[in-house]
Structures are given as structure tokens and as C-alpha cells.
Structure 1
Amino acid sequence: MRNALNALNCCRELVKKYSEDVVKLGGKLMKIFSRNLGLKENYLEEAFGGEGNIGACLRVNYYPKCPQPGLTLGISPHSDPGGMTLLFPDEKVSGLQVCHKNNWVTVKPLPNAFIVNLGDQLQVLSNANYRSVEHRVIVNAEKERVSLAYFYNPRGDIPIKPAEELITEDNPPLYPCMTFNEYRLYIRTRGTLWKGSS
């Protein structure tokens, strides 16, 4: 029993440290994305709730090997409703596919590298200068697969809308203002507001 508790505590500390580091990486990326849009460096992070107030969660995905992979998907096509997903993939087994020009393209993982999927909330804030990535997961006939998906999201009660600085007469707002909580409820009951693929 003591060994199990020690292992659990060790795992808890490891996940806590991993989470802290991935949130820092997310914050750095948000600064880069903001500058790239011509906005103040902290604009996107502040729109998400500010440092220490963003919504974040870790999901560990396990995909067992499947003798008939053509008959099933690991995860069906979707775009992530939040801000961005920092995915640490299984380096040995590909499974993530993104939709590009109506074709599914397999993403080949690189050693010690994250895959960053932009989500719906960055599409809204950027007024579609950034596009949410439509993706799916396929399974493998011979190998199981594990991935760590860290969701970097806005706080649920903050209104999200296209940045005023990006709105002009020729470039009106493309999306209505709503909180992340309202958006999640909307897509569960009515489906997505737009097609996120590029």
C-alpha cells in the first residue's frame, strides 16, 4: 500500500510540474500570436482572463490497437472549442489527422515536440485571421497509442469577441460575442458556428 501511495504522490508531482510548464508555454505562444496580429503582446492572454486565470486541463488519451482500423475512429472529426491544444503525441505511432483542403493529412510526430492545434476561441478573437483546426484521430491495427492533450482555454465567464483593433469597415466582426461557457453549451445543442478546417 505504501508503494502505491508513493507512486501516486510521485505521479501527482510530475503532472503538476508538467501542467505548470505547459501553461507557461501557452502564455509564450499567446504573446507571439498577439504580436503577429499587430495587437499588444498581452492582448490574447488578457482576453482569456489574464495570467493565472486561464482555464486549463490535461487529458490523457489511450487508443488500443484495433484489428480493423478502417471500421472505427479514435476520435471523430471536430475542432477544439477552446483556445489551443498543446498535444504531446506518441512519437512511435501516428494517429492525428488534420483536414487540409478537404483532405485528411496524417501528422507525423517529431521527437520531443508539441503539436499545437488552434481552437475556436482564437478564431473568434482574431476574427478568422487564425483558423481553428479540424482534426480527428485514427487507430492502428498493430500498435496502441498514448497522447497528452493540454487544453489552454479562456476562463468560462469572460465574453469573447473579435478584437476591436482587427475590425474595420471592410473587415466587420464575423462572430457574435459570447462567453466560453455559452459557446460550449451552444455547440452541444446546435453544432459549431462555422467550419474550422483550412
Structure 2
Amino acid sequence: MDGNECRELVNEYSKAVVKLCGILMKILSVNLGLEEDYLQNAFGGDDIGACLRVNYYPKCPQPDLTLGISPHSDPGGMTILLPDDDVSGLQVRKGEHWVTVEPIPDALIVNLGDQIQVISNAIYKSVEHRVIVNSIKERVSLAYFYNPRGDLLIEPAKKLVSKDRPASYSAMTFDQYRLFIRKSGLWGKSQVESLKCSQ
């Protein structure tokens, strides 16, 4: 495959993933009791931030001594992951334990990020996850990040805030949050939890 063919394939894949994310945003909005287009509008409508990242994890002779990526939740809105069909590596935290997500051929993995947690006033939770490495095989995954526009204030939806359930987070732009993450590093879900308002 030459460079042009690769670009065309990536462009086609990106368009399909953006369409899927738009559908998921509608479903999530309706499930929260909001207008169908609420989350999409909160992200900037059609002017959202999105990027594709290819992750390569070489095989490691001592996988118990390292991680591919340390524990974190994604700072953005939603991550669509196309995992390697042959090698598992993604783990999600369930309580005090890490659970390996076994890849299913032709299936995508959807992780909700911190911005969805904020807008939903913590009704939806971002997924804490990490990546382990393999001693025998290398691993490749494609992560598509679907994020709000950087300059928009992200805050709990007014309809999800009440006297019984006050706003858990103060308003902050996604650009401000990304800067905060870069300065503090990946530390599980401590970043989003540290932003909680005192009740």
C-alpha cells in the first residue's frame, strides 16, 4: 500500500468513526434525559476535536516489570479503540482489580472519557485503564479520540444539577484540562476526581 492509499484508508476510517461517535452521543444524551443533540452541541456541534493515534507496543522479555501505558482515564470525550485481534493488552479497573479486555474480531471498544463524566455530573464515569505488554508478541492498536472543541467551557448539564445532586465540577475548557493533565501526568483517575467541587 502506498502513501496515498494509506491516507485514503485512514480518511475513510476517520469518517466512519466520527459518524459512529455522533450516534453514540445521541444515545448517551437521550439516556441522560437530555435533548438528543445536547452532548454533541456541548462538544461544539460539527466543530469537534478528533485525532487518530496508532499505538505500537513491542514485545518485552519481562512484562511484569513494565506497562505499555500507566493507569489513566482519557481526558477527552470518547475513545474508539480498534484493538489488535491477536494480542490482548488493554485492562480496565473494576474495583480493586484489573480485568483484561479480550479482543473480539471486527469489534471496537468504546471508552468514555473525563469530559463525558463532567457533563453528565458523574452519572457516566470515565474508564480507568492501562495497557500491559506481552513477552512473545508485539501489539498494535488504533485509538480514535473524539473530543470537545478546546475553547468551550465544559460543565455539568443544568438539567442534571439539582438541590439533591449539586454540580460535581466547575466549568473548565478542554484546553485548560489538557494543560492540567500535561502538568500533573497520568495518575489513574486522580485528575478528574481532583476537580470535584466541595459539597
| TM-score, normalised with respect to structure 2 | 0.93
State whether residues 65 and 141 of structure 1, in contact with CA within 8 Å, keep that contact through their aligned partners in structure 2. Answer: yes
Q: Which residue in the other structure is 1:9 paired with? A: 4
| Identity value in percent | 68
Q: Deviations over 1:112-158 (max 9, x none)?
A: 11100000000000000000111000000011111000000000000
- CA distance in 2 between counterparts of 1:139 and 1:187 reads 24
- CA distance in 2 between counterparts of 1:175 and 1:190 reads 18
SS in structure 1 of the partner of residue 192 of structure 2:
coil
Could you tell me which runs of 5 or more consecutive residues in structure 1 were left unpaired when the two chains were aligned.
1-5
- CA distance in 1 between counterparts of 2:105 and 2:30 reads 28
Give the counterpart of 1:64 among 58, 69, 77: 58
Q: Which residue in the other structure is 1:3 paired with? A: none
Could you tell me which runs of 5 or more consecutive residues in structure 2 were left unpaired when the two chains were aligned.
186-190, 195-199
Provide the aligned C-alpha RMSD in A.
Answer: 1.1
State whether residues 114 and 192 of structure 2, in contact with CA within 8 Å, keep that contact through their aligned partners in structure 1. Answer: no
Give the counterpart of 2:30 among 16, 26, 35: 35
State whether residues 187 and 193 of structure 1, in contact with CA within 8 Å, keep that contact through their aligned partners in structure 2. Answer: no
TM-superposed deviation, 1:190: 4.2
Give the counterpart of 2:122 among 123, 128, 153: 128
State whether residues 49 and 154 of structure 1, in contact with CA within 8 Å, keep that contact through their aligned partners in structure 2. Answer: yes
Alignment of 1:42-191 (within 5 A): 42-51=37-46, 53-190=47-184
Q: Extract structure 1 runs of 4+ deviating beyond 4 A.
A: none
Q: Which residue in the other structure is 2:197 paired with? A: none
- CA distance in 2 between counterparts of 1:79 and 1:193 reads 8
State whether residues 125 and 163 of structure 1, in contact with CA within 8 Å, keep that contact through their aligned partners in structure 2. Answer: yes
- CA distance in 2 between counterparts of 1:193 and 1:186 reads 10
- CA distance in 2 between counterparts of 1:8 and 1:193 reads 39
TM-superposed deviation, 1:193: 3.3
| TM-score, normalised with respect to structure 1 | 0.93
- CA distance in 2 between counterparts of 1:144 and 1:185 reads 31
* 2:192 corresponds to 1:193: yes
